[in-house]
Chains A and B, each alone.
Chain A
Amino acid sequence: MAKITSLNDLRKIKDDLQEKIRLRENAESPESMAQIKVGMATSGIASGAKEIFNFLVEELDKRNVSAVVTQTGDMGYSYAEPTIEVTLPGQDPVVFGYVTVDKADEIIEKYIRNGELIEGIIPANYKTIDD
């Protein structure tokens, strides 16, 4: 590693390095950014959820979109796998079904970045025990 010779250098290095711990920083304040849960039970994985999960993690990082991506169990929409649930800060969760790489791309660009609703939303049809 070359010596750091100015404050600007240090700032630049910091910005580069921040990527490495972004995951940890985001986990500290999950309520302030989009949270994406990918349904990754057997049926989800069989329909390609793993690929979607990887795509989301890598692309969000590349595109500098702050979001927390976690995997979760079966959401119950087996007919529409892979499914993902996106919660934007301060909003109700929205579930997308039949997610492909293209669809995931659209979700990042339109819904997560701009809050624009797009096709493929599965309406919530249950209450949780907290409701």
Chain B
Amino acid sequence: MATFKYHLLICGGTGCKASDSDGIITSLNKEIKEKGLENDVKVVTTGCFGFCEKGPIVKVLPDNTFYTQVTPGDAAEIIQEHIIKGRKVERLLYTDPETENHIADSKHMGFYQKQIRIALRNCGFIDPENLDEAISRDAYMALGKALTEMTPQEVIDEIKKSGLRGRGGGGFPTGLKWEFASKNEADQKYVVCNADEGDPGAFMDRSILEGDPHTVLEAMAICGYTMGADKGLIYIRAEYPLAIKRLKIAIDQAREYGLLGKNILGTDFNFDIELRYGAGAFVCGEETALIHSMEGERGEPTFKPPFPAESGYNGKPTNVNNVETFASVPVILLKGADWFSSIGTEKSKGTKVFALAGKINNVGLIEVPMGTTLREVIFEIGGGIKDGKKFKAVQTGGPSGGCLTEKHLDTPIDFDNLIAEGSMMGSGGMIVMDEDDCMVSVAKFYLDFTVEESCGKCTPCRIGNKRLYEILDKITKGEGTMEDLDNLKNLSNVIKDTALCGLGQTSPNPVLSTLDNFWDEYVAHVTDKKCPAGACTDLMNYNIIEENCVGCTACARACPVNCITGERKMPHHIDQAACIKCGTCMEKCKFNAIELI
């Protein structure tokens, strides 16, 4: 075996693949071959590095150089300069936005400094399609330890002691869930992995499955051992083709090595895993709906109890956990519950992965200890708001969560604090909004999503959410009344109290939290018929300031609906009734004579 002197790690996550990381790999390999360096340099495709904003990423080891926004055309220079001559390619290094210095080493980038990577420990480090690399990073070691050195109850106790809580949204203690499932006797039990990540803007689970699939398979087997199940099912949405491909490869490899199948590691424990595909319905992330969907029924939730731990898939005891929850399990067994519980806050232990999206500089995937503040996440790791605009709110918890504002920035993030502030952890999507975002429109966006995704089984969710949406729509059109605002609040509370499942019970959250935090903005829409953020087109008027207008006719010629009239060299006029508010006139005007009011 050749001893490679350099490893080039290239992100093969969906985001970087979309920016042609495959092309980079091809040209790197070509260059390496041309220069005769096949025995010196190894090119490795890995999972997501998390720094998607600056992708595709190429990391050169051992000197830990972090190249950003690489194109296939840069391959020759990286090989020629860095590998052969030992000089870093300055122009591809990350530039610190504050000091404008180039930073070569990822360890010194603000983006990585506050992070602790537990669930993402192998993402961006190993080749996810290579079981050998996973094994060299302790894959299946925790399963081995559990099977040979621990009883099922000891494993459950360890997980309970670690304080691990479900990362999918609910935050239910994982060890307790496993214990319930283990206590129910049956001839067949199931372990289910919920990979139906549905929040808009969330991609944590996808990245884990794409970057380190074996950790999820291993944890499912460990869970199977604790509850006496020999069958695992991964419910994954069909929109995740790359994650599906890598899971299939991982399952085949694990079977080949005997790490899945009969008599695992010479014990009498059997466990195998199959995939089940979802069609991408949001409600199927709810565990009872997920189970029905797997059974071939409609993806509709049913009332709990009975809980899946008692009667789940095919009426048998079933334990459902989220991808990220599973990904934390092997590390807990290897490093111990005490180590895990030393990280985080009193009631929320360990770390949480967040997908940063929206008006933030460093869009990407991060993993921070519980208790990190929103300010640290948004301004230190996330690099602040795009284009120097003002921070307005951050939406956590997806359509089930709420908006947090300036005054919440120093709140340590954990399950309980977020609920206390009227939002929730959810699966970990964080959408950052700036001064140009209208909060009424944001609430309307989420309601639009919920209305679309409601399964229609219960009345509060099916009809109630539709009515909420209609009221919001009315307000954004400037037709709302103060009575509508009262109705919004009352209806929201009724839906919360009466809906059948988690989807309906949480769907009014975006409305309630924006009403709480941005009451003035709602009032402005209703009484002044104005949108302070300038986002609701129905409430805006383009107006020509007569003093500034020189009558150049540029706007009139550009107007697509010919609603601007006026003599040459005389102030022009916009016919408000005909205006479609496209903003073209404002773009064309060179004299700042058009204002938005």
Q: How far is the CA of A30 from the CA of B145 in the complex (A)?
A: 29
Name the segment of A63-71, A77-85, A88-96, A98-106 touching the other chain. Answer: A63-71
Q: Which of A1-53 contact B (CB under 8 A)?
A: 1, 3-7, 9-11, 13-14, 17-18, 20-21, 23-24, 26-27, 30, 40-41, 53
Given the interface pairs A7-B147, A21-B126, the reply to whether A27 lies near B257 with Cβ below 8 Å is no
User: Chain A contacts of B61 at CB under 8 A?
Assistant: 23-24, 27
CB of B5 within 8 A of chain A? yes
B190 to chain A, nearest CB (A): 25
Chain B interface: which size bin? 35 or more
Contact A21 B137 (CB under 8 A): yes
Give the interface SS of chain B, mostly helix, strand, loop or mixed: loop
Does B562 belong to the interface (CB within 8 Å)?
Answer: no
Q: Which of B114-140 contact A (CB under 8 A)?
A: 125-126, 132-133, 135-138, 140
List chain A residues, Cβ under 8 A from B5. 23, 53-54, 57, 69
B133 touches A21 (CB 8 A): yes
A129 to chain B, nearest CB (A): 13
The answer to the question of B458 belonging to the interface, with a C-beta cut-off of 8 Å to chain A, is no
Contacts of A40 in B (CB 8 A): 85-86
Residues of A within 8 A of B4 (CB): 23
Is there an interface contact between A14 and B265, defined as CB atoms closer than 8 Å?
no
| 7 pairs, CB–CB < 8 Å, chain A vs chain B | A4-B259, A7-B144, A17-B132, A21-B7, A24-B7, A54-B5, A73-B85
| A10–B142 alpha-carbon span in the complex (Å) | 11
Q: Chain A's nearest CB lies how many Å from the CB of B119?
A: 17
The count of residues in chain A whose C-beta lies closer than 8 Å to any C-beta of chain B is 33
A4 and B62 form a contact (CB under 8 A)? no
Q: Which of chain B's residues 254-300 have a Cβ closer than 8 Å to chain A?
A: 256-259, 263, 265-266
Among B87, B136, B263, chain A packs the most CB atoms within 10 A around the CB of B136
Are A10 and B256 in touch, CB under 8 angstroms?
no
Tell me which residues across on chain B come within 8 A of A20, comparing CB atoms: 1, 132-133, 136
Instruction: Tell me the smallest distance from the CB of A71 to a CB of chain B, in Å.
Output: 4
Report which of A7, A21, A57, A73 forms a contact with B87, defined as CB distance below 8 A.
Answer: A73
A10 touches B86 (CB 8 A): no
In the complex formed, the residue of A with least CB distance to B61 is A27
Say yes or no: is B63 at the interface (Cβ < 8 Å to chain A): yes
On chain A, the residues within 8 Å of B137 by CB distance are: 21
Q: Which residues from chain B contact A1 at a C-beta distance below 8 Å?
A: 256-257
Q: Are B135 and A5 in contact (CB under 8 A)?
A: no
Complex alpha-carbon distance, A97 and B552, angstroms: 76
